[in-house]
Chains A and B, each alone.
Chain A
C-alpha cells in the first residue's frame, strides 16, 4: 500500500465549519486519506462527520481551512467527476423508478447509461429497479444511494453512514461490497458511529470528537499493545511476586484475583513458573486485547458529544 503524502487523495488543512447558529461543527481538521485506503471516519452523533463530508463535496463552504479531493477543490467538476458520494439519507426523485433515477444521474455525469444495470446489480436492487423510488423501503433507498455513488466508477467513494437503515444481511452485504470496492487503487472514505463496522472494513481509522480528530491510525495502532491477563490466588501473594518481577506500575488489579499486566505475551510462561514456584495457584493466563469499544469510549469520552 502506498504511504507517502503525495498519494493523498483527500487532504484537509485546518478545515473548520461554524454554522450560522454558532455551533462549530468541525474545528481545525487535518485529515489525510491516501490512495487505496479504506478510511473509517468514526465519531459519535454530532461529532461533525456529515459536516466534514459536506465540505469535501462542496455542498457547504468551510468557515476556514482548505480541502482537496481527488486533485480538485471540493464541488468543482474536476473533483466531482472522480467522486461518488452519499451524504446522510440518499435523495432521489420519488415519481421516477430507481432505474430512471440512475439514468438521470448518468446523464448528469456524462457516463454511459449501460453502467446503470451493473450498479443496480452490485447492490442487488435489480428486481425492484422498475418500481418508483417512492415505493422503496428504507434499505432499498440506501442501496439505490450506493448504486448511484458507484455510477461514475469513481476514484474516491465518500459514504456517510452507508449501512444506515439496512437489515443485518444488508449491512453485511454493504460492508463486503465496500471492502471489495476498496481493493486496488480506489479510495474509500466511510463515516460511521459503529465500531464493529469500521473494524471490519477499514484499513485506517480517524476518530473525530466535537469537530476535532482525536486519534488516527490502523486498528492495531489504535488498540495499542495487548496485555496479559492472569487470574491467580491468593491475590496478595501473587501481587507480591508480580511486583518484584515487573514493577508495580505495570500491574493493574482488575477484580478479586485477576491482574492485567502491561507486558509482552512472550513472558507468560516465565511469569507462570515464578508464581507457581511461590506457591500461587494460577487458574487463567491469556492474552487480552483492548476491545475497540473500550478505545472508542476512551477517545470520545463517555459523556455525550452533543
Chain B
C-alpha cells in the first residue's frame, strides 16, 4: 500500500504521463472524428469515384455516430493507442534507471517485489485512465458529430460499452507491460521505446506479411499466438461498421475473443514474472 501510494504520488505529478494521456485524447478527437467529419461533410471534388453507384463519402459518416463508437474506438486505437500505453510503461520504469532513483527506491523500506507491485499498480491506474478517457472522449465526439448532423444520439448498450472499455484496457495493459518489461530488461528508456515502437508498428506486420506470402494455413496457426494478431482479434470481435450499400463484412477474425483474451493475459502474466525475476536478481550499481 505504501509502495502504491508512493508510486501514484509521483506518477500524477509527472508531466510526461499527462502528455501521453492528453495526447491520446487529442489524437482521438482530431484523427478519429474531426478530420474524417470534415472530409466527409465537405467531400473534395471527385472523391466518390470508385465508390459503388449511389454512395457518397457522406455515407461513411455513420461510423462517426454514437451507435458505432465502441467498434470505431477499438478499431482505430488498439495499436495506435497501445503505443501511448507502451510509452507510459517505459517511462514509469525506465526513468528510475535514468535518474538512478532506483537506488533511492530500494533503500527506503519495502523489498523489491513490493516496490514492483506498487509500480504495476500505478501503471494499471494510468492505463485505466487512458482506456476510460479514450472511451469518454470518443463518446462525446461521436455524440457531437451526430448532434451537428441531426442524427440519432442512441448509444450502444451500457454492457457493450463496458465490454469495450475492458477490451481496450487489456490491450493497453498488454502494451504498457511490454514497454515496462523492455525498460526493465535494458535498464533504460530510449532502447525500450525504440524497440517497443518498432515491434508495435513494423516488426510483427512485416514478419507475417513476408511469410504470409508463402501462403498456407500454418502461417495463421503461428500468428494466432502473437500479440498484434490477438489485439486484432479482440478489436474485431466487436464487429465492423455496416455501411448502407457497401459490403463491409471483411474477413472474420481467425480466432475469437476468448482466445485473444487468454493469450493477452498470458503475456501479461509472463511480463510480470520476467520483471520480478530480473529485478530481484540484478545488482543495482548506478
Contacts and interface: CB of A to CB of B under 8 A. Distances in A.
B102 to A, nearest CB: 8
Interface in A73-123: 75-77, 80-81, 83, 85, 87, 89-96, 100, 103-105, 107-110
Contacts of A85: 107
Contact of A91 (B6, B9, B103, B110): B103
A261 interface: no
Interface in B235-286: 283-285
Contacts of A89: 100
B181 to A, nearest CB: 22
Q: Which among B108, B109, B285 has the highest number of chain A CB atoms within 10 Å? A: B108
Contact of A103 (B9, B108, B283): B9
Interface string B90-113: 000000000111111111111100
Contacts of B3: 108
A67 B277 CA distance: 23
A215 B107 CA distance: 29
B215 interface: no
A96 B13 contact: yes
A94 B98 CA distance: 11
A279 to B, nearest CB: 68
Interface stretch (A28-36, A57-65, A166-174, A297-305): A57-65
B111 A109 contact: no
Contacts of A81: 109
B109 A95 contact: no
B100 A91 contact: yes
A60 B10 contact: no
A286 to B, nearest CB: 48
Contacts of A57: 106-107
B214 to A, nearest CB: 43
A61 B14 CA distance: 32
B104 A91 contact: yes
Given A54-B284, A89-B100, A92-B101, A105 B10 contact: no
A94 B10 contact: no
- The A interface is mostly helix, strand or loop, or mixed, namely loop
Given A59-B285, A108-B6, A110-B2, A95 B14 contact: yes
A109 B103 contact: no
A16 to B, nearest CB: 14
Contact of A107 (B5, B102, B111, B284): B5
A242 interface: no
B15 interface: yes
Contact of A92 (B9, B15, B104, B107): B104
A107 B104 CA distance: 13
Contacts of A93: 10, 14, 99, 101
Contact of A100 (B5, B13, B102, B104): B13
A85 B105 CA distance: 11
B283 A61 contact: yes
Interface residues of B, number: 25
A191 to B, nearest CB: 15
A190 to B, nearest CB: 16
A108 B106 contact: no
Contacts of B13: 95-96, 100
Contacts of B9: 100, 103-104, 107
Contacts of B5: 107
B6 A104 contact: yes
B110 to A, nearest CB: 6
Interface string A146-168: 00100000000000000000000
Contacts of A61: 283
A81 B111 CA distance: 11
Contact of A59 (B14, B99, B111, B283): B283
A108 B2 contact: yes
Chain A CB count within 10 A is highest, among B3, B107, B109, for B107
Contact of B105 (A60, A76, A108): A108
Contacts of B103: 59, 87, 91
A63 B157 CA distance: 61
Nearest to A61: B283
Interface string B1-41: 01101100110011100000000000000000000000000
A92 B284 contact: no
Contacts of B6: 104, 107-108
Given A75-B106, A80-B108, 6 more contacts: A59-B284, A77-B110, A89-B100, A93-B10, A95-B13, A109-B2
Interface of B: 2-3, 5-6, 9-10, 13-15, 99-111, 283-285
11 contacts: A58-B107, A59-B107, A60-B285, A61-B283, A81-B109, A83-B107, A85-B107, A87-B103, A93-B10, A108-B6, A110-B109
A-B residue pairs, 7 tightest by C-beta? A91-B100, A60-B283, A108-B108, A59-B284, A107-B6, A108-B6, A91-B101
